[in-house]
Structure 1
Amino acid sequence: MSETSSAADLLRRHAEHEYAGELDALARHDERPRPPGWRLSPQAVVTYLMGGTLADGSVVRPKYVGERRLMETAVATLCTDRALLLLGVPGTAKTWVAEHLAAAISGDSTLLVQGTAGTGEEALRYGWNYARLIAEGPSRAALVASPMLRAMERGAIARVEELTRMPADVQDTLITVLSEKSLPIPELGAEVQARRGFNVIATANNRDRGVNELSSALKRRFNVVVLPTPATAEQELEIVRRRVAELGEALAIPAEPPALEEIRRVVTVFRELREGRTEDGRTKLKQPTGTMSTAEAISVVGSGLALAAHFGDGRLRADEIAPSLIGAVVKDPVQDDVVWREYLETVVKERDGWRDLYRACRALG
């Protein structure tokens, strides 16, 4: 199988491959100073994230819709010796932004450590090929490098997802890496020193505070950028529209592009339940236990589009939106069900032009 056909068969390509054309165009037109080890200047990295039109007419699509200053702050942090911590509630594009930052700066977004309760120190440091270790004893050939160690050797960006999910003693493995820019290997009497261009982008959820809080020593090694939920309905609408269009293309869903009005209704429901009040501010609402994030709104519209394509006439309507919408709201079958039924009867039922959505949701119980 050829490399081209193999790439075409991938369900999701890494950012540096999916947007290779834009990254190449930015590199060609980038005349500003680049920090050591960077493939683009900080200004070009921000343009890659926020979108723009280059001198030759090439269009760079926005990867992040929000305040430009947040992205400038994130990129400026990575120019220094401080690591970057992207903080926010689930679904605020922390992982998405981290991936694209690594792709634009290093050309490689795959040096990733996924934080879980079971993540061990070897995920941040190194492990061993035990067959070689037993046969040959400790040697560099027997050492299995972690993504962090490989990033240090290459002078690239390492990513750590869900940092606060890791046990505290594993988190603190990062202290030496971030302060000394080196990783000791005492078994070999050696160390790996980071090359220029190395840095770390970590993500954490606001709602995870108290799970495994960062130590004071580790907190001092990070600059924190908080990614908020979209400030306005129009901003959130644009995010959902763009991502659903990209997903529909990537997954080859044979349906019409979703009508803007259907997306607007989903976004309105999500924003009202998330904020605990109707958009006109007149009615207070109970809030569900879930985050009602933009990422979930994208999933609701995407699932509806798939239903319309494969079990309908290809046009997205309330009947296709309702199942995923209810699933997104009702995470707790007791508490959230009460919240949803009250919202359905007091808001959706009474809102002009929403009777079809009311009927579709009622039909599903």
Structure 2
Amino acid sequence: MTDILRPHAEQAYADELAALAGADDRERPAGWRLSPWAVVDYLMGTELADGTVITPKYVGSRRLMEIAVATLATDRALLLLGVPGTAKSWVSEHLAAAISGDSTLLVQGTAGTAEEAIRYGWNYARLLAEGPTEQAMVASPIMTGMREGRLARVEELTRIPSDVQDALITVLSEKTLPVPELGTEVQAVQGFNVIATANDRDRGVNELSSALRRRFNTVVLPLPSDAESEVGIVARRVTDLGRTLDLPQTDASEEIARVVTVFRELRGGLTEDGRTSLKVPSGGLSTAEAISVITNGLALAAHFGDGRLGPADVAGGIVGAVIKDPVADAVAWSEYLETVVRDRQGWKDFYWACREVG
């Protein structure tokens, strides 16, 4: 495990999942590894009676997670919707790990995702040699989840072409996947369900049909409600990534707070004191991007600096995150630097570092 760059959730948090399972005395739906209550405790964090600490995976409303978990205990699929960087994929992975013990039944949605990724495909060498047989068929993650009673995940559902999306309708409504080539079907066993994620900035790309949308319960994951919560999320994830990447464990709190402040002000179009209106850049400036900026800064400090994270280490990452459109975003960033950053107390080094890389 120490050589794996990015372990699956069920690998990275195996001890926590085992401790929760051992202490969980509530009723578990058929096919579930944990009770719904324990799944939410796993996501939100808690301390067990024996002193085992379950670290929080999601920082936000517990009620939202309860709604999501309750949905998966019914015959309705779950759609996690939100702007980029609101932990949709992260929550989806941890839900699958806690409920099924396996988060790997994944369909990654893209413009090129084919219907075979939702239904099934064929081993064409065997298909030509034997004709359509059970052995020649290649099961999709959805089909595998149906057969084994596990959760399947569909990432970026609205990136998938509309005709391919609609292959999910029969699966979600009838819990059946027909295989006409074999004159048979796969019926879902208890424990199967689907978690999909969608980016609400992709509206108009491949809208969900009304028939498909009705098969989902939608939970909207918001951006962190306050700066303190967002700083906590960034700090926790940066610490985890730093250990995995062998980056220096240095005090990054000042720069994390700075990056979060910049991102929140620019995406909100207003300084934190409410006195100055700002142009909003075209990018999302999400919590996930803040994590990336700090992690990149730590790498710069480790390999090209003294190991301590400073303004110069995060400036380049911030400029790259803000300026997605080289014209409009450059104007918004320049105005923010000159009207807000230049005269802000304690930010002079950051101002000049941004000017240097910008």
Q: TM-score, normalised by structure 1?
A: 0.97
- 1:293 is aligned, of 280, 286, 296, to 286
Deviation at 1:257, TM superposition (A): 2.4
Match of 2:354?
361
Structure 1: 5+ residue stretches without partners:
1-6
- Please state whether the residue corresponding to 2:258 is helix, strand or coil: helix
Q: Is the 8 A contact 2:155 2:198 kept in 1?
A: yes
Q: Structure 1 residue 104 and structure 2 residue 123: aligned?
A: no
Deviation at 1:261, TM superposition (A): 1.5
Match of 1:3?
none
> Which one-letter code corresponds to 1:40 in the other structure?
L
Distance in 2 (CA, whole Å) between partners of 1:256 and 1:135 is 57
| Mapping 1:1-365, distance limit 5 Å | 7-253=1-247, 255-365=248-358
> Which one-letter code corresponds to 1:79 in the other structure?
A
Moved over 3 A (4+): none
Distance in 2 (CA, whole Å) between partners of 1:299 and 1:116 is 23
> Which one-letter code corresponds to 1:131 in the other structure?
A
> Which one-letter code corresponds to 1:82 in the other structure?
R
Deviation at 1:35, TM superposition (A): 0.3
> Which one-letter code corresponds to 1:283 in the other structure?
T
> Which one-letter code corresponds to 1:334 in the other structure?
V
Distance in 1 (CA, whole Å) between partners of 2:285 and 2:5 is 26
C-alpha change, 1:259 and 1:8, in structure 2 (3 Å) is: closer
Q: Is the 8 A contact 2:242 2:249 kept in 1?
A: no
Deviation at 1:259, TM superposition (A): 2.8
Q: Is the 8 A contact 2:239 2:249 kept in 1?
A: no
Distance in 2 (CA, whole Å) between partners of 1:281 and 1:103 is 42
Could you list the per-position Cα deviations for residues 120-143 of structure 1 after superposition, in whole angstroms to 9, with x for gaps in the alignment? 110000001111111111110000
Distance in 2 (CA, whole Å) between partners of 1:116 and 1:260 is 36
> Which one-letter code corresponds to 1:144 in the other structure?
V
Could you list the per-position Cα deviations for residues 60-85 of structure 1 after superposition, in whole angstroms to 9, with x for gaps in the alignment? 00000001111001000000000000
Identity %: 72
Q: Is the 8 A contact 1:84 1:223 kept in 2?
A: yes
Distance in 1 (CA, whole Å) between partners of 2:324 and 2:101 is 38
Structure 2: 5+ residue stretches without partners:
none
> Which one-letter code corresponds to 2:9 in the other structure?
A
- Please state whether the residue corresponding to 2:329 is helix, strand or coil: helix
Q: Is the 8 A contact 1:322 1:360 kept in 2?
A: yes
Deviation at 1:359, TM superposition (A): 1.0
Deviation at 1:256, TM superposition (A): 3.4
Deviation at 1:258, TM superposition (A): 3.4
Q: Is the 8 A contact 1:245 1:257 kept in 2?
A: no
Q: TM-score, normalised by structure 2?
A: 0.99
Instruction: Give the root-mean-square deviation of aligned CA atoms.
Output: 0.6
Deviation at 1:363, TM superposition (A): 1.5
Q: Is the 8 A contact 2:45 2:54 kept in 1?
A: yes
Deviation at 1:260, TM superposition (A): 1.2
Distance in 2 (CA, whole Å) between partners of 1:212 and 1:262 is 38
